[in-house]
């Protein structure tokens, strides 16, 4: 990180870390660029790290990335900036003299963060609990890197609609059989991101082949493409012999009861995050649909603005 202190990715990462506040590593830029950096960085910080995670979990309204120390958070943000912008080495871009490159990197990161979970029309509205946490409420950084890489792939191949088509079963599979911790355990969270992306793509491919959702993981495990994986790997809190409930057990109990009751997108069937939804006309306005309660339904923003059409 020290080598990248004045590089656009280093400045972008520090701006996101501080939500556009604190020491201005971008103070040499014009006031216009400074304002733009601070505005975008604040948006990204809110999308990724808010609301603050409370333990034990008593709400499904959780951040994409859970509680981390300042140094851990900075590392995650820098990796995020690098992954989104295809940067292999921290100081690869050299120093940024004008702030133009820093703003460019931040805009790319905002686009991906909005795609993950926001009310932007492009948003897939991925439910944080389903994609970024274990069933006991532990944040999964490996899943965050993997999902970012997955989204970049879907963006490059223009195949978001394929995810939406199978999303209900896709989410059932990744929640029932959480393989990501196993995949990540064989490498670092960052290095394993392509494997996680490939795992998600393999699930979609199996569903596209009309494999029953209950057999998808069995087939993937049998193929050994991802090494030796074992089904049913969720954390088991019942082995703790104590009369008191641990924080993990409390979180697991809450998630077990609350998640099934979460609203689902009426178009793709996937889970809707607590604060992310779009109100869709069941019958399109172009076809004479009215803005009545009977004609309203909750959807993901992307499903409403793009997939449905």
Question: Residue 54: which residues within 8 A CB-CB, separation 6 or more?
Answer: none
CA quadruple 243, 244, 245, 246: dihedral, nearest 10: -120
Domain membership of residue 258 (yes or no) is no
Question: What DSSP state is assigned to residue 139?
Answer: B
Predicted confidence at residue 233, as pLDDT, reads 47
Predicted confidence at residue 231, as pLDDT, reads 75
Domain membership of residue 191 (yes or no) is yes
* CA 178 to the chain's CA centroid: 15
Q: b/e per residue, 53-91, with b = 16+ CB within 10 A?
A: beebbeebebbbbbebeeeebbbbbbbbbbbbbebeebe
Question: Residue 159: which residues within 8 A CB-CB, separation 6 or more?
Answer: 153
- Residues forming beta bridges with residue 280, ordered by sequence position: 297
Q: b/e per residue, 24-50, with b = 16+ CB within 10 A?
A: bbbeebeeebbebbbebbbbbbebbbe
Domain membership of residue 199 (yes or no) is yes
pLDDT digits (tens, 9 = 90+) for 153-193: 999 999 999 999 999 999 999 999 889 999 998 788 999 99
Domain that holds residue 221: 139-234
> For residue 162, with 0-12 CB atoms within 10 Å meaning exposed, 13-18 middle and 19 or more buried, which class applies?
middle
Domain membership of residue 261 (yes or no) is no
Domain membership of residue 196 (yes or no) is yes
Domain membership of residue 276 (yes or no) is no
Number of structural domains (the chain) is 1
Where do we find the tokens 């989104």? Answer: 84
Predicted confidence at residue 241, as pLDDT, reads 66
Predicted confidence at residue 90, as pLDDT, reads 80
Q: Encoding tokens for residue 181?
A: 């911790």
pLDDT digits (tens, 9 = 90+) for 233-261: 444 445 556 788 999 999 999 999 999 99
Strand (E) or helix (H) holding 43: helix 31-49
Segments of the chain with pLDDT less than 70: 1-5, 232-241
How far, in Å, CA of 259 to CA of 247, rounded?
18
The answer to whether residues 5 and 91 touch, using CB atoms and an 8 Å cutoff, is no
Predicted confidence at residue 57, as pLDDT, reads 93
Distances from the Cα of 83 to the Cα of 40, 109, 123, 130, 191, angstroms:
18, 9, 19, 22, 11
How far, in Å, CA of 297 to CA of 309, rounded?
15
Domain membership of residue 308 (yes or no) is no
Domain membership of residue 125 (yes or no) is no
């Amino acid at each position: 990180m020290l080598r990248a202190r004045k590089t656009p990715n280093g400045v972008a990462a520090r701006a996101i870390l501080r939500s556009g506040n604190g020491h201005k590593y971008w103070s040499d830029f014009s006031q216009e660029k400074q304002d733009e950096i601070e505005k975008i960085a604040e948006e990204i910080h809110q999308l990724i790290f808010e609301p603050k995670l409370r333990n034990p979990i008593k709400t499904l309204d959780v951040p994409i990335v859970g509680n981390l120390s300042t140094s851990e958070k900075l590392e995650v943000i820098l990796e995020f900036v690098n992954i989104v912008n295809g940067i292999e080495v921290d100081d690869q871009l050299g120093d940024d003299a004008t702030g133009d490159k820093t703003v460019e990197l931040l805009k790319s990161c905002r686009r991906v963060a909005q795609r993950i979970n926001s009310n932007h029309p492009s948003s897939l509205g991925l439910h944080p609990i389903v994609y970024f946490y274990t069933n006991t409420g532990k944040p999964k950084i490996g899943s965050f890197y993997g999902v970012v890489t997955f989204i970049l792939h879907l963006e490059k191949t223009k195949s978001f609609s394929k995810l939406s088509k199978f999303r209900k079963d896709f989410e059932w599979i990744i929640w029932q059989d959480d393989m990501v911790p196993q995949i990540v355990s064989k490498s670092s969270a960052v290095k394993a991101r392509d494997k996680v992306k490939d795992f998600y793509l393999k699930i979609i491919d199996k569903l596209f082949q009309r494999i029953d959702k209950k057999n998808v993981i069995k087939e993937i495990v049998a193929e050994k493409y991802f090494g030796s994986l074992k089904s049913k790997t969720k954390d088991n809190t019942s082995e703790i012999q104590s009369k008191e409930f641990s924080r993990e057990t409390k979180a697991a109990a809450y998630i077990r009861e609350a998640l099934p009751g979460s609203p689902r997108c009426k178009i793709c069937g996937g889970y809707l995050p607590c604060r992310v939804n779009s109100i869709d006309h069941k019958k399109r306005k172009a076809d004479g649909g009215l803005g009545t309660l009977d004609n309203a339904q909750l959807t993901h923003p992307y499903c409403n603005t793009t997939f449905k059409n």
